[in-house]
Amino acid sequence: MRATSLDRKGPLFWILFLIVLVLVLFPIYWIVVTAFKSPLENISSVPVFFPHGLFLKNFVEVIAGGFFGNLFNTLFVAVFSTLFSLLLSFLAGYALSRHRFPFHFNTVFLVWVLAVKILPPVVLAIPLYTLFVAAHLLNNLGGLIIVYQVYTLPYCIWMLFGFFKALPTEYEQAARIDGASNLGILWHIVLPLMRSGVIATSIFSIIMAWDEFLFALLFLRDPRLQTLPLKIVNFITEYETLWGQLMAIGLLATLPLLLFSGYVYRKMSSGFTMSLK
C-alpha cells in the first residue's frame, strides 16, 4: 500500500489536530468546571480555569430544585414518543417494503413523510396549538408525545424502511410455506432479524426527542411538567448569573447522551447513510 497525498501527517497536521481538539473540548470542559465552581469563582473578573475545590452545592441545589422531576418528564416523553413511532413505522415500513400499493403510493407516501421532516415545526405549531386547546391536551405529556411524532415518525419510517429493504425475504417465505400467519411472521421472524436496526433507530429518535424545545415551550405551561431543555432555558432567563447551577443541570442533562457518543460514532461512520434522511 503506498501513501497518497491525503495520508501525509506532518507537523502542520498535528498543530491543526490539536487546535481542533481544543476548540471542540474547551466549551465542554467549561461546562464541567463551571458546574464545580462556587458562585464567587464564577463571577470573578479573572476567569478561574481550575476550581480550587469541588463545589458540590450546585448539584445539591439543582437536585433540590426538582431536577429529577424534569428528568423523568424528559425521559417519559422521549421514550414514549419513540415507542409510538417505532410501532407505527415498523408496521408501515414492512408494508411499504413488501407490498406494491397501486398508483405508486409507496413513493408518494415516503415523499410525503419527507415533507413532514422539512416543514418548520413552528408552522405546524399554531394549528396544533388551537386544536390542543380545544381538546384539553395542553399541559399534558401525552399531548406532547403526539406532537413529537412530527420529529420522530418521519425519521423512524425512513430508517426502518431502509432496514426492511435490506432484509432478505427468504425467511418470511419459508415461514409462509410452513403456514405461519402474517402477524406471526412479523412477530416471530421479522422482528428478531430487525433487532439491531430497531435499536439504532430508537437511540437516534430518543436523542432527537430529548433535545426538543419549541413544542415543549408552547405545549407545557405547568412548571412541574417541564422537560429539561425548558428547565434550562428558564434558568438562563431567570437567574442569569447562577452559572454554577446552570452548568450543573446542563451536565446532568447531557451525560446520558454523551454516553452514547461511541455508539453514534460507530453507526454513523459505518455508512449508516439512512441517518441522513
Partner 1 sequence: MIKRRTMLKYIVKNRFYYAILFPAFAVVVFLTVYPVVQVVANSFYKYNFLSDERLFIGFKNFSSIISDDIFQTSFVNTIIFSFVGTLLEVGLGFALALLFYGKFFGRRPAMIIVIFPMMVSTMVVCSVWRTLYQFDIGLLNYLLKAAGLGPVGWLNNPHLALFSVILVDIWQWTPFAFIVLQAGLLSIQREVFEAASIDGAGYFRTVFSVTVPILWSQIVLVVLLRTIDTFRVFSKVYALTGGGPGNSTETVSFFIYREGFVYFNLGRASTASMYTLVVIALIAVVYIRQIMKEGDV
Question: Taking CB under 8 A as the criterion, which residues in 34-53 touch partner 1?
Answer: 34, 43-47
> Which of 59, 132, 163, 210 forms a contact with partner 1 (CB under 8 A)?
210
> Which of 61, 117, 180, 198 forms a contact with partner 1 (CB under 8 A)?
117
CA distance linking residue 58 with residue 246, whole number of Å: 8
CB atoms inside a 10 Å sphere around CB 104: 10
Rule CB under 8 A: is residue 198 a binding residue for partner 1? no
Site map (CB under 8 A) of partner 1, residues 157-186, x = contact:
x----x-------------------x---x
Rule CB under 8 A: is residue 217 a binding residue for partner 1? yes
Rule CB under 8 A: is residue 30 a binding residue for partner 1? yes
Q: Shortest gap between Cβ of 193 and partner 1 (angstroms)?
A: 17
> Which of 131, 135, 166, 191 forms a contact with partner 1 (CB under 8 A)?
131
> Which of 83, 189, 193, 257 forms a contact with partner 1 (CB under 8 A)?
257
C-alpha cell read off for 93: 415500513
Rule CB under 8 A: is residue 195 a binding residue for partner 1? no
Q: Shortest gap between Cβ of 27 and partner 1 (angstroms)?
A: 5
Q: Shortest gap between Cβ of 217 and partner 1 (angstroms)?
A: 8
- Return the amino acid letter for 146: I
Q: Shortest gap between Cβ of 56 and partner 1 (angstroms)?
A: 19
User: Which lies closer to partner 1 via its Cβ, residue 91 or residue 199?
Assistant: 91
CA distance linking residue 50 with residue 62, whole number of Å: 22
Q: Which residues 82-111 are close enough to bind partner 1 by CB under 8 A?
A: 87-89, 91-92, 94-96, 98-99, 101-102, 106-107, 109-111
Rule CB under 8 A: is residue 1 a binding residue for partner 1? yes
Give me the DSSP letters along the chain: ----TTT---HHHHHHHHHHHHHHHHHHHHHHHHHTS-HHHHT-SS--SS-SS--THHHHHHHHTTHHHHHHHHHHHHHHHHHHHHHHHHHHHHHHHH---STTHHHHHHHHHHHHHHS-HHHHHHHHHHHHHHTT-TT-HHHHHHHTHHHHHHHHHHHHHHHHHHS-SHHHHHHHHTT--HHHIIIIIIHHHTHHHHHHHHHHHHHHHHH--HHHHHH--SGGG--HHHHHHHHHHHSTT-HHHHHHHHHHHHHHHHTTHHHHHHHHHTT-GGGG-
Rule CB under 8 A: is residue 125 a binding residue for partner 1? yes
User: Which lies closer to partner 1 via its Cβ, residue 197 or residue 229?
Assistant: 229
Specify the stretch interacting with partner 1 by CB under 8 A; choose among 54-62, 134-142, 195-203, 250-258: 250-258
